[in-house]
Amino acid sequence: MSRAIQISDNRTVFKSILLYLFLIFSAVLNGQTDKNFIRKGNREYDKSKYSDSEISYRKAVDKNKQSPDAVFNVGDALYKQNKFEEAGKQFLENTNQSADKVKKSAGLFNLGNSLLKANKIEESIDAYKNSLKLRPDNNEAKYNLSYAMDLLKRQQDQQKKQQQDKDKKDQNKDKDKNDQKNDQKNKDQQKDQNKNQDQSQQQQPQKQEISKDDAQRLLNSLANDEKNVQEKVKLAKATKAKVRTVKNW
Q: In this structure, what CATH number is given to the domain that contains residue 138?
A: 1.25.40.10
Asked if residue 164 belongs to a domain, the reply is yes
pLDDT of the residue at 26: 54
Task: Please check the confidence at residue 249 and state whether its pLDDT lies above 70.
Answer: no
Asked if residue 45 belongs to a domain, the reply is yes
Total domains in the fold of the chain: 2
Task: Please check the confidence at residue 3 and state whether its pLDDT lies above 60.
Answer: no
pLDDT, tens only, 96-113: 999 899 999 999 999 999
User: 98 and 60: one domain?
Assistant: no
Asked if residue 132 belongs to a domain, the reply is yes
User: 86 and 176: one domain?
Assistant: yes
User: 19 and 57: one domain?
Assistant: yes
User: 111 and 138: one domain?
Assistant: yes
The average pLDDT across 167-187 equals 86
User: 102 and 164: one domain?
Assistant: yes
Asked which of 151, 181, 211 is the last residue of a domain, the reply is 181
User: 97 and 48: one domain?
Assistant: no
Judge if pTM exceeds 0.85. no
User: 12 and 50: one domain?
Assistant: yes
Asked which of 125, 147, 181 is the last residue of a domain, the reply is 181
Predicted confidence band at 18 (pLDDT cuts at 50, 70, 90)?
A: low
Task: Please check the confidence at residue 16 and state whether its pLDDT lies above 50.
Answer: yes
Mean pLDDT of the chain: 82
Asked if residue 20 belongs to a domain, the reply is yes
Asked if residue 89 belongs to a domain, the reply is yes
User: 17 and 104: one domain?
Assistant: no
The average pLDDT across 223-240 equals 69
Asked if residue 245 belongs to a domain, the reply is no
Asked if residue 139 belongs to a domain, the reply is yes
User: 61 and 109: one domain?
Assistant: no
For 41, the domain range is: 8-65
pLDDT of the residue at 12: 57
Asked which of 161, 181, 201 is the last residue of a domain, the reply is 181
User: 105 and 172: one domain?
Assistant: yes
Task: Please check the confidence at residue 173 and state whether its pLDDT lies above 80.
Answer: yes
Phi, psi of 209 (to 5 degrees): -100, 145
Asked if residue 240 belongs to a domain, the reply is no
User: 107 and 166: one domain?
Assistant: yes
Task: Kindly tell me the sign of the dihedral angle through the C-alpha atoms of 185, 187, 190, 195.
Answer: negative
